[in-house]
Structure 1
Amino acid sequence: MSVFAKATASPSRSKRTLLSGLAIVGASALVLAGCATDGGDTSTGSEGGELSLKLGTALPVTGNLAFLGPPEIAGTEYAASEINAADAGIQIELIQGDSGDTDNKAYETEIPRLLGEDVSAILGAASSGVSLQFIDQVVGAGVIQFSPANTSAAFTEYDDKGLYFRTAPSDVLQGEVLGNLIAADGHETLGMIVLNDSYGTGLAGYTQEAFEAAGGEVVAQPTYNTGDTTFDAQISEVLAADPDAIALITFEEVSTMLPSIVSSFSAENLYFVDGNLANFGDEFAAGTLTGAKGTLPGLSVDTIADFTSALNEFYVGSGQPELEEFSYAAESFDSVILLALASLAAGSTDSAAIAEKLQEVSGGSGNGEKCTTFADCAEIINGGGTADYDGISGPITFDELGDPTEATIGVYQYGEDNTYSAY
């Protein structure tokens, strides 16, 4: 299954416009073509002018997206190790933190702690709803906020002082892909269970828009809140509407919902999204999810097999358990690489200076020379040239709003073992 959509960069941060595109159903992955206190120390280190870039992370160690924490954290650590090993004039210090969720509110103590460490950027959160809880605090301090996984369209128009960036595409695009996928599968009516936050309601809205534009009808759309533990009312409402298909726009609460849903609804008519697409394995009986589908921004694991293999080797080698999920690992890796390249190009660890160079090193401006590793890009920059980094997660190419103009969205399907693979 392939979907192609082209995104157009907006002219300025003061006038943001939503990405738009034409979704075409076609065969295998979905491709979308589509700054501190005063942020950080401006010194360049004591030896040979080497930059010392301090980055904080606010990724989900706890909360309803905790299953995304390991691949994202591993991605940041792996990138930092590659940068430091390159010895190209910049060294990274990572200070890991926990974003939590809007129920446990780990970010309320973690963000002040990270800002107190005088970081130049904070990577996170994974959840759009969580990022919206602290974006004003971060950019208000003059620090870059850079998320590898935020997909809410709310960030495109956000007054972020030019300090917010993300390597994940807007849900305007995922919603279009999902809605068209459900319609292309022959479904005429759709029920949705939706997380009541910026991510959930936004993605549901764009999915509904695409599905209805294709001639379908959304017949039920109950919501729930972060921290809820029972979902009987929402499940009953959707099943009572007798839809052809059900889209679950949730986080890990889906594990609680699924037994009640699949007991009376065929799994082959279920649709997952990036917030809950996970390898459930023996969490459920074999065959429980056979035929269910889902969407996820990013290239398939098969496409980036060399990266995921190297990432796992690095992660296990650092004393951590083997990774079972890889969602947003590549985007996390690319986030750190881009920040380091922008710092190197700016010759500074000042947040505002780094932010000024992020579009350039991503290829969004400057007509730079293509490169695909930190070492190669750093060599271009150190030689007086302009680097255009094409990452593991895709070309990225930031527009003037800090949104990627090129990204990939995959369609996946569950097998008998309750794990997913490219459809």
Structure 2
Amino acid sequence: MKKFIQKLTILGMALALVACGGKKEEEASVIKIGSVLPLTGGVAAFGQASKNGILLAQEEINKKGGINGKKVEIIFEDDEAKPASSASVTQKLINNDKVISIIGAVNSTCSIADGPIATQNKIPMITPVSTNPKVTTQGGEYVFRACFIDPFQGKILSKFAIEDLKAKKAAVLYDVGNDYSKGLAEFFEEAFKEAGGEVVASETYNTGDSDFNAQLTKISALKPEVLILTDYYNTVGLIAKQARAAGIDAVFLGGDGWDSPDLFNVGGEAINGGYFTNHYSPDDTASQVVEFKAAYEKKYNEVPSSYAVLAYDAANVLFAAIEQAGSTDGEKIKDSLKNIEYQAVTGKIKFDEDRNPIKGAVILKAKDGEQKFVKNVKL
């Protein structure tokens, strides 16, 4: 009996070693990448669109054999668009899931929280859509982005307001507690004043507010020609309705935070005639845009937003950098990203000294439930 038990023990140990070896071999053949997105909460539409874009990129790369013969596995985490949650799940991805890089976050406030963690752990991070300059300057040398930044976006809005709309008086209304909203508003104000325009009102509110009548009453009395709304689609829609009810007939202008079909569900007719800056237009006839749009619509049966396309671009830039590095070492991937030149759907991506891509923008018009392409803009 004793010998029988010994044999069973030896057999068990052998099976465990085989299983362990098989697991290690399986892990060695997989590249784990984390993704931090707002999959629930007030801007869940942004998170889901971003997830769709990343999953499409993952599917395509794996069909081609993966990266240097290894399959790509994306591990998604929900940050609920909250900086504290974002930092927490970033730590989880790095310490528990052992990811080699991170795609995300979406909200600038979340990316600002995540960046220093990524750099401290030497984990390359690329955000698809966080436009606040502090994302990379405070995040450190391991933090990159696939989108243009707010100083550029603010100048584009100012240029369009003055040159195309012939506006001389502007009012600004923004969320004082949101880095994206506050930063874009301030960059617009600076550019508009430098160009000779007058900012007749600069009003603020707090995150989560839903009643803007006090601020809008002040703005209405000053009769601006344009009203700059730098928040996300859900809040912009609410403000647009209340602004029209308050008698404001100014043209609404905003940034890429407007980019969601839900803008029209919330804002209705009030948002008609508004303009916003964006990273691409689905109406673009460039071959890469056409091919991406066709693949995305086939998979998801919807027109891709800029969040979907930028997440797709961010994922593919990262995949290319890992392939060029020939390694999953964080420092080598970071160095590869710094020197990469990649033709993405939204344009050629080459990073400047602050790890921001130098890109153009488009102006879109909100009309009858659709985004209409107006023009391409470069400074």
- Once the two structures are superposed, the pairs formed by residues 345-384 of structure 1 within 5 Å of their partners are 345-360=324-339, 362-363=340-341
- Once the two structures are superposed, the pairs formed by residues 35-114 of structure 1 within 5 Å of their partners are 46=25, 52-87=30-65, 88-102=68-82, 105-114=84-93
Gaps of 5+ in 2: 1-23, 375-379
Q: Distance in 2 between matches of 1:305 and 1:63?
A: 31
Q: Distance in 2 between matches of 1:233 and 1:264?
A: 10
Of residues 225, 250, 261, the one that matches 2:243 is 261
The answer (yes or no) to whether the contact 1:99–1:106 under 8 Å persists in 2 is: yes
Residue equivalent to 2:11? none
Which amino acid is 1:145 matched to?
A: M
Residue equivalent to 2:8? none
Which amino acid is 1:57 matched to?
A: S
Check 1:265–1:72 CA distance in 2 against 1; reply closer, same or farther (3 A cut): farther
Which amino acid is 2:353 matched to?
A: E
Of residues 331, 346, 351, the one that matches 1:393 is 346
Q: Distance in 2 between matches of 1:244 and 1:265?
A: 13
| TM-score of the two chains, using structure 2 as the length reference | 0.83
Give the secondary structure class of the aligned counterpart of 1:187: coil
The answer (yes or no) to whether the contact 2:109–2:180 under 8 Å persists in 1 is: yes
Higher RCO structure, 1 or 2 (CA under 8 Å, sep 6+): 1
Which amino acid is 2:362 matched to?
A: G
Check 1:234–1:402 CA distance in 2 against 1; reply closer, same or farther (3 A cut): same
Give the secondary structure class of the aligned counterpart of 1:402: coil
Report the Cα offset of residue 391 of structure 1: 0.9
Q: Distance in 1 between matches of 2:229 and 2:147?
A: 20
Q: Distance in 1 between matches of 2:371 and 2:363?
A: 10
Of residues 225, 233, 253, the one that matches 1:244 is 225
Check 1:267–1:295 CA distance in 2 against 1; reply closer, same or farther (3 A cut): farther
Which amino acid is 1:128 matched to?
A: S
| TM-score of the two chains, using structure 1 as the length reference | 0.75
Report the Cα offset of residue 227 of structure 1: 2.7
Check 1:89–1:392 CA distance in 2 against 1; reply closer, same or farther (3 A cut): same
Q: Distance in 2 between matches of 1:198 and 1:138?
A: 20
Of residues 258, 263, 276, the one that matches 2:258 is 276
Report the Cα offset of residue 198 of structure 1: 2.2
Report the Cα offset of residue 290 of structure 1: 2.7
- Once the two structures are superposed, the pairs formed by residues 309-328 of structure 1 within 5 Å of their partners are 309-314=294-299, 316=300, 322-323=301-302, 326-328=305-307
C-alpha RMSD of matched pairs (Å): 2.3
Give the secondary structure class of the aligned counterpart of 1:165: strand
Give the secondary structure class of the aligned counterpart of 1:328: helix
Give the secondary structure class of the aligned counterpart of 1:390: strand
Residue equivalent to 2:291? 306
Check 1:282–1:399 CA distance in 2 against 1; reply closer, same or farther (3 A cut): closer
Q: Distance in 2 between matches of 1:238 and 1:64?
A: 26
The answer (yes or no) to whether the contact 1:70–1:323 under 8 Å persists in 2 is: no
Of residues 150, 175, 178, the one that matches 2:154 is 175
Report the Cα offset of residue 117 of structure 1: 0.5
Which amino acid is 2:185 matched to?
A: A
Greater helix content: 2
Which amino acid is 2:146 matched to?
A: T
Check 1:71–1:267 CA distance in 2 against 1; reply closer, same or farther (3 A cut): farther
Alpha-carbon deviations, 1:125-183, whole Å to 9, x = none?
111112112222222222122100011122353251x2000000111111100011111
